Amino acid sequence: MHHNLLKALLISDFNIENLAGLLNNSDELPVIDAVCGPYGQLMPILINGEHPAWKQKPEILVVWTRPEAISETFRRLINFERVLHAKVLEEVDEFCVPLSRAAKNVKTLFIMAWQIPTSFRGYGFLEWRKGIGLRQLVMQMNLRMAENLNEVDNVLILDSFKWAEKSGKSAFQPKAWYLGKIPFGNEVFKWAVQDIKTALSALSGRSKKIIIVDLDDTLWGGVLGDLGWENLILGGHDPVGESFVDFQRSLKAISQRGVVIGIVSKNDENIALEAIEKHPEMVLRKNNFAGWRINWDDKAKNIIELVTHLNLGLDSVVFIDDNPVERARVRQALPEVYVAELPEDNLLYKNFIQDLSCFDTPKMTEEDRERTKMYVMERKRNELKIEVQSIEGWLRSLETKVKLAPFQKEDSPRILQLINKTNQMNLSTRRLAESELINWINQTGHKMWSCRVGDKFGDSGLTGIISLEIKGRDAQIVDFLLSCRVIGRRVEETLIWTAADYAIKQGLLKIYAKHIPTPKNMPCLEFFKKSGFLFNQDSDAFVWELKQPYPYPQSVQIEMS
Amino acid sequence: MVKVEHEKVIQILFKAIDEVNLQLPRAKNLKKSKDLILTGENSELDSLALVNLIVATEQKIEESFENSVPLAGEHWGSSQTSPFRTIESLAEYIRQTLEKKLNAS
């Protein structure tokens, strides 16, 4: 039995068994156990939460329909009958009602965007005219569905157009339709599997967080040590030079989405940094990189060092290097790292990087957009750490401010992101959907605080959470998690102090924390071992007796809103 | 006269089996054997697997020979004369049909 096997229910107006088979056979995490709802039962399953198809309690629902199956009016329109397009949109609205209801039964509802076969010419050059064209209408249907379901947090509409485009001629299979009521070729289903897996991986916090790039023939053309930075192939009126600039622009664009960039390159560090700062056509400068390891050491070793320094996991790394030998080395030494198979032709680099799905995230927050800036600030903080002797002295010199706030709805996207992504400083690694979080908060005796951390170098944003569940005269710390970028700056103690202070005011006797081990949350266990809490073997918990207040962290300024 | 190698068609059918196996539970994967029975009581293929095999084979034949051999319209029975008895008989049927087509054009 797989540790994280997710149950999926697939419902459709056509034969969707091939998608189920491909999903079940895909080893990529999370592993899925997919079953198809009975054929012809799409609406009964959606409408009736007691339908036998729900018995296995799926966590995922996949709904894939043809537009003519959910809209009788659309079916008439493809026969070129004269019917008002507005009627189709009303039918889309009606279809969205059971969809949003069904979304409540599962953690994630995937809906495939509607499309019509490429072979259907429709009204030809009038296809994009409003009120006439059916392709135009299908787009409107998709938009209408997206608008209707926009507020349903756990609904993801997947872009089936892209799958058809990538599958080319074999996307639509009229023969398979007549033989087995399968409208699409296998390529389409394979792309669908990839997107479903990507989304589930992102939802469980496994999106890639860092791109580590090589320099020579990857960020620029030519070998720096041989040519000198003045003669690198980069920019100018040259297709190759232009392609490297475009590649750098694409990397910079990805960093705006919250993915940080690092360098691991076999070069002389000073010469490489000089090239990065001085070459007039460089798009990426020092401040665009969260960190680098530029030396003549083994690249696998350098990658480990860099991600450890940045408090990231190896499984959050995408490694990009033009040299197949280096790629093979990293792939062999660090199987957790995603080693991208960069095309041989550098004119294709930009398209290649833009097509990677591993950076997809289920939400986009301000913290994501600012991530590179935060890592650059962290680098500067660490430079200060070298100058200042003691840890306490360093912490005081940072002028850290922690602003705490009880749970508020507007913070929930970022709180959920932290809950579902944080691995290392995470007590229980409890993963939650938005509805589950709200439901938990609303229960009596449940309390949650989030904190924003700032210092003289800048604002790290909402980076920590603690939650309590009051049980009689005691309180259990249910969630205790902190973003990697503020670990070790007494924010941990600040969170505990906040919860303990609240518990004292409620007249409670003790607070306790149960560490649920995962392969990644050892740092949290280490923190509790040193936190002053006593480990009680009988209850398997770290306990603090509240007759004594938890020590106030001296090097931090606390503000409570 | 253009000759189509029987063995080349067999290899194409094996690739089509690989494609079908992607959707089948691992325990039910089809063996790449010339004797694999495609239809009838002793067949290991359910109707969906047979449909997938036909579609994948047609596609791969077209990719390899730039010529099509429509199988979907053929009678799928398991009688002695049906091409869909085994991989061997299907390969032979495809080979003959292709040869006829290639030599007629």
Mean pLDDT of B18-24: 93
- In this predicted structure, the answer to whether residue A3 has a pLDDT above a threshold of 60 is no
SS3 string, A303-372, reads HHHHHHHCCCCHHHEEEECCCHHHHHHHHHHCCCCEECCCCCCHHHHHHHHHCCCCCCCCCCCHHHHCHH
Q: How many helices (H) and strands (E) does chain B have?
A: 3, 0
Buried b (16+ CB within 10 A) or exposed e, A305-320: ebbeebbbbbbbbbbb
Best of A26, A169, A173, A179 to substitute, by most chain B Cβ atoms within 10 angstroms, is A179
pLDDT of residue A445: 94
pLDDT of residue A61: 97
pLDDT of residue A225: 83
Condensed to tens digits (0 to 9), the pLDDT of residues A267-279 reads 889 999 999 999 9
The residue among A256 and A64 whose pLDDT is bigger is: A64
Q: Which residues of B touch A173 (CB under 8 A)?
A: 55
Enter the tokens of residue B23: 């959707």
The residue among B6 and A383 whose pLDDT is bigger is: B6
Residue of B23, B54, B55 with shortest CB distance to A21: B23
pLDDT of residue A1: 44
Interface contact A365, partner B, CB < 8 A: no
Residue of B26, B47, B51 with shortest CB distance to A176: B51
Enter the tokens of residue A144: 């209408």
Contact A179, A172 (CB under 8 A): no
Tell me the nearest-neighbour CA distance from B85 into chain A, angstroms.
Answer: 18
Q: Give the pLDDT band (50/70/90) at residue B53.
A: very high
pLDDT averaged over every residue in chain A? 90
Q: Give the pLDDT band (50/70/90) at residue A34.
A: very high
Residue bearing tokens 């210092």: A455
φ, ψ dihedrals at A68, nearest 5°: -70, -15
Q: In this complex, do B23 and A180 lie within 8 Å of one another by their Cβ atoms?
A: no
φ, ψ dihedrals at A480, nearest 5°: -145, 105
> Closest-CA residue in chain B for A187?
B19
Q: In this complex, do B48 and A170 lie within 8 Å of one another by their Cβ atoms?
A: no
CB-facing half-sphere around the CA of A436: CA atoms within 13 A: 15
The residue among A452 and A363 whose pLDDT is bigger is: A452
> Closest-CA residue in chain B for A15?
B48
Element (H, E) at A32: strand A32-36
Best of A18, A33, A167 to substitute, by most chain B Cβ atoms within 10 angstroms, is A18
Residue of B23, B54, B72 with shortest CB distance to A25: B23
Q: In this complex, do B51 and A180 lie within 8 Å of one another by their Cβ atoms?
A: yes
Contact A261, A210 (CB under 8 A): yes
B31 DSSP assignment: P
Enter the tokens of residue A183: 């409208």
CA–CA separation, A503 and A528 (whole Å)? 18
pLDDT of residue A349: 95
Q: Which residues of B touch A17 (CB under 8 A)?
A: 23, 48
φ, ψ dihedrals at A560, nearest 5°: -110, 125
Give, in order, the Cα–Cα distances in Å from A448 to each of A126, A441, A506: 56, 7, 15
Q: In this complex, do B72 and A186 lie within 8 Å of one another by their Cβ atoms?
A: no
Mean pLDDT of A303-322: 91
Tell me the nearest-neighbour CA distance from B57 into chain A, angstroms.
Answer: 12
φ, ψ dihedrals at A52, nearest 5°: -55, -25
Q: In this complex, do A178 and B72 lie within 8 Å of one another by their Cβ atoms?
A: yes
A-proximal residues of B, 32-91, CB under 8 Å: 47-48, 51-52, 54-56, 58-59, 72
Mean pLDDT of A319-348: 91
Interface contact A170, partner B, CB < 8 A: yes
Instruction: Indicate if the alpha-carbon torsion angle A117, A123, A126, A128 is positive or negative.
Output: negative
The burial class, CB within 10 Å (0-12 / 13-18 / 19+), for A239 is exposed
Tell me the nearest-neighbour CA distance from B45 into chain A, angstroms.
Answer: 14
CA–CA separation, A316 and A211 (whole Å)? 9
Condensed to tens digits (0 to 9), the pLDDT of residues A163-173 reads 999 998 889 98
Contact A303, A330 (CB under 8 A): yes
Q: Could you tell me what percent of chain A has a pLDDT over 90?
A: 65
A37 DSSP assignment: P
- In this predicted structure, the answer to whether residue A27 has a pLDDT above a threshold of 90 is no
Tell me the nearest-neighbour CA distance from B1 into chain A, angstroms.
Answer: 31
pLDDT of residue A391: 67
Mean pLDDT of A13-37: 93
Q: Give the pLDDT band (50/70/90) at residue A385.
A: low
- In this predicted structure, the answer to whether residue A40 has a pLDDT above a threshold of 90 is no
Q: In this complex, do B52 and A18 lie within 8 Å of one another by their Cβ atoms?
A: yes
Enter the tokens of residue A237: 């009126």
B-proximal residues of A, 183-222, CB under 8 Å: 185-186, 190
Best of B18, B21, B23 to substitute, by most chain A Cβ atoms within 10 angstroms, is B23
Enter the tokens of residue A48: 């009736």
Q: Give the pLDDT band (50/70/90) at residue B70.
A: confident
Q: In this complex, do A186 and B24 lie within 8 Å of one another by their Cβ atoms?
A: no
Closest by Cα among A479, A480, A483 to A462: A483
Q: Which residues of B touch A179 (CB under 8 A)?
A: 51, 54-55, 72
- A–B CB contacts, 8 A cutoff, strictly below: 47
- 0.80 exceeded by pTM: no
Q: Which residues of B touch A185 (CB under 8 A)?
A: 55, 59
Positions of E strands within chain B? none
Condensed to tens digits (0 to 9), the pLDDT of residues A420-474 reads 888 889 999 999 988 899 999 999 999 999 999 988 777 888 999 999 999 999 9
pLDDT of residue B73: 67
Positions of E strands within A388-472? 400-406, 425-426, 446-455, 458-471
Contact A272, A294 (CB under 8 A): yes
Mean pLDDT of A346-351: 94
pLDDT of residue A386: 58
- In this predicted structure, the answer to whether residue A544 has a pLDDT above a threshold of 80 is yes
Least confident of A119-133, A341-355, A398-412, B65-79: B65-79
ipTM above 0.85, yes or no: yes
Give, in order, the Cα–Cα distances in Å from B6 to each of A318, A350, A444, B91: 45, 44, 74, 7
> Closest-CA residue in chain A for B16?
A186
Interface contact A15, partner B, CB < 8 A: yes
Residue of B24, B47, B54 with shortest CB distance to A21: B24
CA–CA separation, A109 and A111 (whole Å)? 6
- Which residues on neighbouring strands pair with residue A448, listed in sequence order? A467
- In this predicted structure, the answer to whether residue A72 has a pLDDT above a threshold of 70 is yes
